[in-house]
C-alpha cells in the first residue's frame, strides 16, 4: 500500500477505521498500566503495624538508656516468623546447657567426696547411697527377744571417720542411750519407787563396767565394784580376785570390758549398744532384773603417728547380768548397792587362749598370732562360724569349740 501527503489547501486524508481502533486500545491500556493504584486493605494494615512497631522499638531503646530493660516487640502471627524461627527463638544452645549440667554434677561429687569419701567409694563400688542411708536409720528400742539375726549390712570397710561401716551396729544406739529401762511397776514386796531405783542402779553398773572410758583403757572398774552389794554374797570379792589374778577360770572379762592401752585404743567416743532389761520376781522373793546387752567397740592399733589409713576393727561383747533386790528384813544388804547374782558373756573378735585381763582384737593385717603385750600365743579359731550380732539365741550358744570363729565383725 502507498500513501501521499495532502497538497496545500487540501484536507488531510482520513485514517482507516481499523488503525484508529488499534490506537485507541493501546492508549487505554497504557493509561491503566501507568495510573496510580490505591493500597489494598491488607497492605495498609501491615504498613500501619510496622510503623507502630518501629515507634515502640524507638521508645523502648530510649527507656533502656535509663536502666530499664526493653521489651521484645511482639511479632504478628504468621509475620516474619516461620517454623524454623519460632523453634530457635525459645531454644538455648544445647552445648552450653550440657556443659553447665556436667559442671554442676562435678561440683556436687567433689563436695561429697570431701565430706564423705567412704560414701563416694561405696557408690563407685556399686553399693549406692540409698542402701547406706537405709542401713544408718536408727532402730527402735528392743522390747523382746529378736527372732533372727540382723540382715547383712553393706560390705563397707570401717574407717576412723566411720568405724561402724558395714556393721548392723550402725543402727544401734550410742552408749548409755542404748540402755533403755522398762517401765517401773511394783513387784512382790518392792514398791514402784524401789523398782525404779533398782533399774537405775543396774544401768549405772552396766555403764561403769562396759562404757567407762577409763575402764576401757585398762583401768580398774571401781565404780562398778562399788555398786555390787558386798554383804549379800561374795560377788564383789570374786570380781576383785579376777581382776588381780586373771586366769582361764577366773577371767574378769566375763564381767568387765578392758583393752590393753599399749596395744589398741577405742576409735572416737561412741560405743554402740543394743539390748533390753526385764523385771520379775526372783528366787529369794525380791525383784529380779536381767540385763542382756550387746556392746560394739571400734578399735585401732596404738601408733606413734596417726594415719587416716589406719585399720579399724570391731570387738563385739554380749553380756547378761542378773541382779536381785533382796528384802532387807530377811537378808543382809548394804543400802545404796545392788546384789549381782550371776553373769555370762560372749566375746567376739578377741584372741583365744590369752587370759591376762584384757581383750585382744584381731586385725586383718596381723601376721603374728601373738598379740602385743601378751606372752601367750593365741589359739587359731575353729568350729562353725557364729554371728556375734545374733541376739535371737541365748548367750553361750556355739561355745562347744575351744575357740569359735565369727561370720562377721
At 138-179, the pLDDT tens digits run 899 999 999 999 988 778 899 999 999 999 999 999 999 999
Most trustworthy range by pLDDT among 134-138, 334-338, 365-369: 334-338
| pLDDT of res. 123 | 44
Query: Is beta strand 404-406 parallel, antiparallel or unpaired with respect to 382-386?
Result: parallel
Greater model confidence, 263 or 284: 263
Q: How many CA atoms lie within 13 A of 146 on its CB side?
A: 19
pTM tops 0.75, yes or no: no
Q: How does pLDDT run across 86-140, given as a tens digit for each residue?
A: 333 444 445 555 556 656 656 655 655 555 544 444 444 444 444 444 446 889 9
Q: Residues 408, 311, 207, 136: is their CA dihedral positive or negative? A: negative
DSSP 168: G
pLDDT band at 28 (very low <50, low <70, confident <90, very high): low
- Please compute the mean of the pLDDT values over residues 343-367 and round it to a whole number: 91
| pLDDT of res. 352 | 87
- Please compute the mean of the pLDDT values over residues 254-279 and round it to a whole number: 97
List of E strands, 84-202: 173-174
- Please compute the mean of the pLDDT values over residues 252-270 and round it to a whole number: 97
Cα separation, 374 vs 360, whole angstroms: 9
What residues contact 51, with CB distance under 8 A and at least 6 apart? none
Residue 359 predicted with pLDDT over 90: yes
Contact 112, 104 (CB under 8 A): no
Q: Is 322 left (phi over 0), alpha (psi -120 to 50) or beta?
A: beta
| pLDDT of res. 273 | 98
pLDDT band at 188 (very low <50, low <70, confident <90, very high): confident
Q: How many CA atoms lie within 13 A of 382 on its CB side?
A: 7
Kindly state the percentage of the chain with pLDDT values over 70: 63
User: Any idea which residue has 591376762 for its cell?
Assistant: 356
DSSP 176: G
Rounded alpha-carbon distances, angstroms, from residue 10 to 3, 6, 17, 24, 405? 15, 6, 21, 26, 150
Most trustworthy range by pLDDT among 86-95, 112-121, 208-217, 380-389: 208-217
Residue 387 predicted with pLDDT over 60: yes
Amino acid at each position: 500500500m502507498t500513501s501521499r501527503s495532502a497538497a496545500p489547501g487540501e484536507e488531510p486524508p482520513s485514517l482507516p477505521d481499523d488503525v484508529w481502533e488499534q490506537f485507541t486500545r493501546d492508549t487505554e491500556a497504557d493509561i491503566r498500566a501507568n495510573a496510580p493504584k490505591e493500597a489494598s486493605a491488607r497492605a495498609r494494615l501491615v504498613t500501619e503495624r510496622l510503623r507502630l512497631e518501629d515507634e515502640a522499638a524507638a521508645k523502648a531503646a530510649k527507656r533502656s538508656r535509663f536502666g530499664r530493660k526493653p521489651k521484645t516487640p511482639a511479632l504478628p502471627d504468621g509475620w516474619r516468623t516461620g517454623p524454623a524461627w519460632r523453634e530457635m527463638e525459645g531454644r538455648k544452645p544445647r552445648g552450653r546447657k550440657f556443659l553447665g549440667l556436667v559442671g554442676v554434677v562435678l561440683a556436687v561429687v567433689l563436695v561429697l567426696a570431701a565430706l564423705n569419701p567412704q560414701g563416694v567409694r561405696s557408690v563407685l563400688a556399686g553399693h549406692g547411697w540409698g542402701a547406706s542411708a537405709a542401713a544408718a536409720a536408727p532402730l527402735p528400742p528392743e522390747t523382746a527377744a529378736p527372732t533372727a539375726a540382723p540382715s547383712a549390712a553393706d560390705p563397707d570397710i570401717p574407717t576412723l571417720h566411720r568405724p561402724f561401716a558395714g556393721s548392723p551396729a550402725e543402727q544401734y544406739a550410742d552408749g548409755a542411750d542404748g540402755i533403755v529401762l522398762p517401765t517401773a511397776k511394783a513387784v512382790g514386796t518392792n514398791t514402784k519407787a524401789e523398782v525404779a531405783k533398782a533399774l537405775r542402779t543396774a544401768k549405772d553398773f552396766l555403764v561403769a563396767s562396759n562404757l567407762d572410758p577409763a575402764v576401757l583403757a585398762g583401768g580398774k572398774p571401781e565404780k562398778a565394784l562399788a555398786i555390787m552389794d558386798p554383804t549379800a554374797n561374795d560377788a564383789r570379792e570374786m570380781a576383785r580376785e579376777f581382776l588381780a589374778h586373771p586366769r582361764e577360770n577366773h577371767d574378769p572379762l566375763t564381767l568387765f570390758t578392758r583393752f590393753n592401752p599399749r596395744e589398741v585404743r577405742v576409735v572416737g567416743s561412741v560405743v554402740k549398744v543394743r539390748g533390753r532389761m526385764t523385771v520379775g520376781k526372783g528366787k529369794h522373793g525380791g525383784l529380779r532384773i536381767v540385763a542382756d546387752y550387746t556392746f560394739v567397740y571400734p578399735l585401732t592399733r596404738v601408733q606413734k603417728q596417726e594415719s587416716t589409713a589406719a585399720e579399724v576393727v570391731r570387738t563385739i561383747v554380749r553380756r547378761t547380768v542378773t541382779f536381785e533386790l533382796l528384802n532387807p528384813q530377811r537378808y543382809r544388804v548394804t543400802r545404796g548397792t545392788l546384789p549381782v547374782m550371776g553373769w555370762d558373756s560372749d566375746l567376739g573378735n578377741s584372741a583365744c587362749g590369752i587370759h591376762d585381763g584384757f581383750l585382744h582384737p584381731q586385725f586383718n593385717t596381723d601376721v603374728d598370732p601373738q598379740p602385743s603385750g601378751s606372752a601367750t600365743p593365741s589359739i587359731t579359731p575353729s568350729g562353725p562360724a557364729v554371728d556375734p550380732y545374733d541376739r535371737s539365741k541365748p548367750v553361750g550358744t556355739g561355745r562347744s569349740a575351744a575357740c569359735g570363729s565369727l561370720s562377721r565383725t
